[in-house]
Amino acid sequence: MYKYFHDPSSKTVYRCRSDPQVTELKFRGRLSGWQVSLDTDVTRADNWLASSSQWHFPVLELRQQEFEFPRYSREQAVSWFLQRHSPAQWNTIEIDEPTFDALESEYKAQALKNKRHV
């Protein structure tokens, strides 16, 4: 399941999983913490192809952070992570999938028309 976000001022849409991935970290067989990560697909209207197959701005952002146990519970780690790394915190509005698909197509088409900046 995904969540979709739109930043109208920068003409950017984001798609990420509803819940971040959480991995238990162990040291000598005992729980030592959590690694929380979230992959976010990014489509920007101001992007351009820097080469035949490489966009100038990243189209995938991987954010991850580690949290110590017992200082952070699993729930606290996820909550803290989402407050700082979710597109919901980046001056965006949450949108539905059909709106995302339409905006993504529009922005990608615009980006493909952009000329390389020097």
**Domain containing residue 44:** 2-113
d(CA 74, CA 68): 10
Residues 6+ apart with CB under 8 A from 5: 13, 14, 15, 16, 87, 88, 90, 92, 93, 94, 95
Number of domains in the chain: 1
118 assigned to some structural domain: no
d(CA 33, CA 96): 34
* Tens digits of residue pLDDT in 24-76: 999 999 999 999 999 999 999 999 998 888 999 999 999 999 999 999 999 99
Stretch 109-116: mean pLDDT:
92
Stretch 88-94: mean pLDDT:
93
pTM attached to this predicted model:
0.90
* Tens digits of residue pLDDT in 2-27: 999 999 999 999 999 999 999 999 99
H helices of the chain, in order, are 74-85, 97-113
pLDDT score of 7: 97
